[in-house]
Amino acid sequence: MSSRADDASPGVAGLGAAAPAAGDLGTPAAPVPGVSGVPTFAATGLDLPAPDVLAPDALASDVRTPDALAPDAPAPDGHGPDGDRPDAGTPDAHTSASAPSIDHPAAPDALGTFGASVHDEFAHEWAKIVEGASYVPLPADEMRDYLRELTYRLSDSLDADPFRPHEARDVGEALVAAHFTGTGTLERTFGLIGEWWPRLRAHAFSQQRDPDDYLLRVIQIQGALAAGYAEALRTRTLAEQQAIHAAVLDARALTEQALHTSEARFRAVFEQSGLGIAIGDLDGVILDVNPALAQMFGVHQTELPGRRVREFMLADDPGHVWEWYEELARGEREHFSAEKRYVRADGEPLWTHLTVSLVRDSAGGPRYQVAMIEDVTDRHRLYTRLRHQAQHDPLTGLPNRALFFERLEAVFERAAGSVGRPSGADRVGLCYLDLDGFKVVNDSLGHDVGDQLLIAVARRLDAYVSRAGHLIARMGGDEFVVLVENSAGTGQVVALAEGILGALREPFRIRGHDLTVSASIGIVERPVAGTGPADTMRAADITLYWAKSEGRGRWTVFDTERNDREVARYTLSAEMPAALHHGEFDVDYQPLVSLADGSVLGVEALVRWRHPRQGLIGPDRFIGLAEETGLIVPLGMYVLERACREAQRWSGSAEALGAPAAAPFISVNLAERQCHEPGLVRQVERVLAETGLEPERLQFELTESQIMATDGGPLERLRELAAMGVRIAIDDFGTGYSNLAYLRRLPVCELKIAGSFVEGLRKPGDADPVDARIVASLVELAHALGLTVTAEGIETAAQAERLRAIGCDAGQGWYFSRPGPPDRIATLLDGVPRAG
């Protein structure tokens, strides 16, 4: 078999490429002993077209040089292919200019008739043993084609004359180029050649070569193959190692660049940030600060590193801030935020919003703390200003009620918070002040003057009170209040109130007016414990009202008992309308008895309140309230109706006894408010009409002061009633001031002498001579005016006797009968009239 179909050189024969006649290695006609079972030479595939191109692209790997497989290319060792190589004259037959290919045209067809070539067989076995030692990126058939080509080249070298062993170097290179790089490749290849030695030897014989010489050739070929392989593998390994190292360096450079970029970005953020940033270690030593932070603190950037975070602790720091800080330093807290004040280098306050974060290392251990500090001083100032505005009165500049209540509440909260302190240790005082008659100033001189006066008053008050260290606030209008924290006692607060009144005594010069101002002050001074701000404020308010009502220009101290009474009164007064509606008011009756004969002349109706919780309440406790609230009008009408109805019953029974004239009149109290009711007369007429009571049997009792003040409409109504025949009596006569001239012109028919005068006549024997003479004078006066006289409060027979002796017409009191239910009067009327 010729190495090349186009190679005419007769002396060149490859492995099994001998002339057909030469008794070739695998020629069936000349079987080689000892090679039985081995496919015959004729079985080699020379008849098959050899691959002309060995997948050039598939071999175009990065490490492969185009000439790696080119037999004509200079060998790595520097020895070029021999110029005397028989086929050297036709290099194109072996190479293509650009693609690494092993061009192997078909062998002479003389042997083709014998089937597969020996080369094919060798290549097949070769492929089998080297496969798996490394990855060869070729399909199985391509790999075999590749190896078959190398087989041709090996056999060409072996049989060439002159012998050119170094051409086998190229085959070694070609193996590496195709990535037959596995460690066993050479070993297995030489093993295979060894196995083939008998056939090679037979071939040598057939070539008339000395087998020993041929063995030497085989060994030399192997050596060259190994050398070429080793050289190429070394080159390839170095190239790959260099490539991978270069890749590491590139990757590292990229990483470093990225780190650098990252660092640069961080640095930019750190340096350019408007936020102050400080980095510290876990011991609280500052490591680095950015320019913004240094600027905030008014120091140079180099001054802060090395200082300790703790140096920036201030007394007014919120307590939890440093707790959190400790937790963070211990790694128990990731971050915290707080509002915190610092002090700038120039002593000015620096208000900040502070966020401290813990920075951990890659293993998760705490490493650094980073503080981000935002300067909120302006915001804080604005807030402070707004807060000041919200808490101060725009007119006078004094604290307003909002701030006052905040401070007052704080007093009580502090006390509530101080557990274990002896109760009563904390005291608080309030002076609630109101200018007297300020409205007059406003009304007469105008609001502008009023405002100026308020400003001046506020200034004077502030000067006086603030000096004493107390808070003074304007509550609104002309009301001011002073808060005395930690009061030393009522005396201190009273002294303060006196001082305030004194301070205001000097007239104010406003817009050309000399204005004299007085004020009323309600004082509350009490322990903080057991009470609250609202209750204390209300007490001050009430006390101010007392001071006002007791006459102005004075202070009054809050009186708990008085307050309790007022509260009770208020409660009663509030309950009264419902009580009237529910029929809780009842009427008792007490007879007015003739001192002359003991007959019952009249009966006084006395209203009672059967209170569901307080029991029976006398009129002294609620009539005043009813007059204040106006409830006296319906209540009075209610009593009038009940009394008239009863009186009519009595007159009925008197008639039944045949003595209609003996029926007593009914005496009902008429309150001042009732007199002012325009419908009074009509209502009385209606009641009389409804009950059938004759007007002469109805008497209204009015107090002395009440009747003396009566004028106009009320007087007119009394006259109308008197004209109807209704009796008018003056109750409690002698306790007020009577204009006797006036009294004469009033439509009065009876005087009732107050019980206080009668009291002096109580004991038998030694009557009070003054009282006795007063009573005698009153009786005389009454009689002179044509009035009858009834003495109230008679408790003893002696009193009754004395009064009778004086000439008093009638008596009323427990001596005769206690007030009682209407039935008792009926019984009294049914029985024998008695006196004493």
Under the criterion CB under 8 A, does residue 251 sit at the interface with other proteins? yes
Q: Residue 136 Cβ, how far from other proteins at the closest point, in Å?
A: 8
CA 551, CA 522: separation in Å to the nearest integer? 12
The nearer residue to other proteins, 256 or 564, going by C-beta atoms, is 256
Q: How many secondary structure helices (H) and strands (E) does the chain include?
A: 25, 21
Beta-carbon contacts of 611 under 8 Å, excluding residues fewer than 6 positions away, are 575, 579, 584, 617
Q: Residue 183 Cβ, how far from other proteins at the closest point, in Å?
A: 8
DSSP, collapsed to helix, strand or coil, labels residue 280 as strand
The nearer residue to other proteins, 258 or 616, going by C-beta atoms, is 258
Query: What is the helix (H) or strand (E) element at residue 706, kind and residue range?
Result: helix 704-709
The nearer residue to other proteins, 176 or 606, going by C-beta atoms, is 176
**Number of residues this chain uses to bind other proteins (CB under 8 A):** 41
CA 126, CA 189: separation in Å to the nearest integer? 7
Of 21, 57, 208, 786, the one binding other proteins (CB under 8 A) is 57
Binding region for other proteins (CB under 8 A) out of 234-242, 268-276, 281-289, 552-560: 234-242
Under the criterion CB under 8 A, does residue 697 sit at the interface with other proteins? no
Of 181, 352, 536, 788, the one binding other proteins (CB under 8 A) is 181
CA 721, CA 728: separation in Å to the nearest integer? 8
DSSP 308-359: BGGGG--TTS-HHHHHHHHHHHTTS-SEEEEEEEEE-TTS-EEEEEEEEEEE
The nearer residue to other proteins, 60 or 359, going by C-beta atoms, is 60
x/- map, 116-155, other proteins, by CB under 8 A: ------------x---xxxxxx-xxx--x-----------
Q: Is 506 exposed, middle or buried (0-12, 13-18, 19+ CB in 10 A)?
A: exposed
Residues 701-730 that bind other proteins (CB under 8 A): none
Q: Residue 334 Cβ, how far from other proteins at the closest point, in Å?
A: 19
Q: Residue 11 Cβ, how far from other proteins at the closest point, in Å?
A: 35
Question: Which of these, 654, 658, 641, lies nearest to 602 by C-alpha position?
Answer: 654
Lookup result for tokens 């209203």: 607
- In this structure, the strands spanning 727-733 and 366-375 are unpaired
Residue pair 171/158 in contact (Cβ under 8 Å)? The answer is no
The nearer residue to other proteins, 149 or 604, going by C-beta atoms, is 149
Under the criterion CB under 8 A, does residue 182 sit at the interface with other proteins? yes
Give me the residues paired with residue 698 across strands.
666
Binding region for other proteins (CB under 8 A) out of 87-95, 249-257, 422-430, 446-454: 249-257
Question: Which of these, 451, 450, 432, lies nearest to 442 by C-alpha position?
Answer: 450
Q: Residue 172 Cβ, how far from other proteins at the closest point, in Å?
A: 16
Lookup result for tokens 């109580």: 762
Of 8, 53, 219, 254, the one binding other proteins (CB under 8 A) is 254
The nearer residue to other proteins, 128 or 353, going by C-beta atoms, is 128
Residue pair 782/751 in contact (Cβ under 8 Å)? The answer is yes
Q: Residue 249 Cβ, how far from other proteins at the closest point, in Å?
A: 8
The nearer residue to other proteins, 128 or 459, going by C-beta atoms, is 128
Tokens of 528: 């903080």
Tokens of 462: 């502030």
Of 179, 307, 459, 719, the one binding other proteins (CB under 8 A) is 179
Under the criterion CB under 8 A, does residue 360 sit at the interface with other proteins? no
CA 490, CA 525: separation in Å to the nearest integer? 5
Q: Residue 147 Cβ, how far from other proteins at the closest point, in Å?
A: 13
CA 207, CA 1: separation in Å to the nearest integer? 12
Binding region for other proteins (CB under 8 A) out of 1-9, 56-64, 541-549, 613-621: 56-64
Of 17, 38, 43, 55, the one binding other proteins (CB under 8 A) is 55
Q: Residue 117 Cβ, how far from other proteins at the closest point, in Å?
A: 16
Under the criterion CB under 8 A, does residue 268 sit at the interface with other proteins? no
The nearer residue to other proteins, 259 or 386, going by C-beta atoms, is 259
Tokens of 221: 């070929």
Q: Is 509 exposed, middle or buried (0-12, 13-18, 19+ CB in 10 A)?
A: exposed
Q: Residue 277 Cβ, how far from other proteins at the closest point, in Å?
A: 17
Under the criterion CB under 8 A, does residue 60 sit at the interface with other proteins? yes
Binding region for other proteins (CB under 8 A) out of 261-269, 372-380, 503-511, 789-797: 261-269
Q: Residue 364 Cβ, how far from other proteins at the closest point, in Å?
A: 16
Of 49, 74, 195, 261, the one binding other proteins (CB under 8 A) is 261
Tokens of 63: 């490490």
CA distances from 57 to 138, 147, 178 (A): 11, 17, 11
Of 49, 53, 265, 571, the one binding other proteins (CB under 8 A) is 265
Under the criterion CB under 8 A, does residue 90 sit at the interface with other proteins? no
Under the criterion CB under 8 A, does residue 241 sit at the interface with other proteins? yes
Of 113, 255, 272, 571, the one binding other proteins (CB under 8 A) is 255
Tokens of 34: 């000892």
Q: How far is CA 640 from the centre of its chain?
A: 65
- In this structure, the strands spanning 519-527 and 513-515 are unpaired
Of 5, 22, 30, 58, the one binding other proteins (CB under 8 A) is 58
Of 247, 345, 359, 390, the one binding other proteins (CB under 8 A) is 247
Under the criterion CB under 8 A, does residue 237 sit at the interface with other proteins? yes
DSSP 641-698: HHHHHHHHHHHHHHHHTT-GGGPPEEEEE--HHHHT-TTHHHHHHHHHHHHT--GGGE
CA 151, CA 160: separation in Å to the nearest integer? 14
Under the criterion CB under 8 A, does residue 240 sit at the interface with other proteins? yes
The nearer residue to other proteins, 53 or 395, going by C-beta atoms, is 53
CA 309, CA 728: separation in Å to the nearest integer? 94
The nearer residue to other proteins, 90 or 237, going by C-beta atoms, is 237
The nearer residue to other proteins, 128 or 783, going by C-beta atoms, is 128
DSSP 729-789: EEEEETSS---HHHHHHS---EEEE-HHHHHTT-SSS---HHHHHHHHHHHHHHHHTT-EE
Question: Which of these, 540, 612, 523, lies nearest to 571 by C-alpha position?
Answer: 612
Q: Residue 62 Cβ, how far from other proteins at the closest point, in Å?
A: 5
Of 236, 427, 548, 717, the one binding other proteins (CB under 8 A) is 236
Under the criterion CB under 8 A, does residue 359 sit at the interface with other proteins? no
Beta-carbon contacts of 538 under 8 Å, excluding residues fewer than 6 positions away, are none
Task: Tell me: cis bond preceding 833? Omega within 30 of 0 counts.
Answer: no
Q: Residue 426 Cβ, how far from other proteins at the closest point, in Å?
A: 59
Under the criterion CB under 8 A, does residue 370 sit at the interface with other proteins? no
Of 250, 323, 409, 448, the one binding other proteins (CB under 8 A) is 250
Q: Residue 255 Cβ, how far from other proteins at the closest point, in Å?
A: 4
H, E, C per residue of 47-116:
CCCCCCCCCHHHHCCCCCCCCCCCCCCCCCCCCCCCCCCHHHHCHHHCCCCCCCCCCCCCCCCCCHHHCE
The nearer residue to other proteins, 53 or 382, going by C-beta atoms, is 53
Under the criterion CB under 8 A, does residue 53 sit at the interface with other proteins? no
Q: Residue 403 Cβ, how far from other proteins at the closest point, in Å?
A: 51
Binding region for other proteins (CB under 8 A) out of 254-262, 425-433, 742-750, 812-820: 254-262
- Phi, psi torsion values for 293, nearest 5 degrees: -65, -45
Which residues would be at the binding site for other proteins (CB under 8 A)? Answer: 55, 57-58, 60-62, 128, 132-137, 139-141, 144, 179, 181-182, 236-237, 240-241, 243-244, 246-252, 254-256, 258-259, 261-262, 265
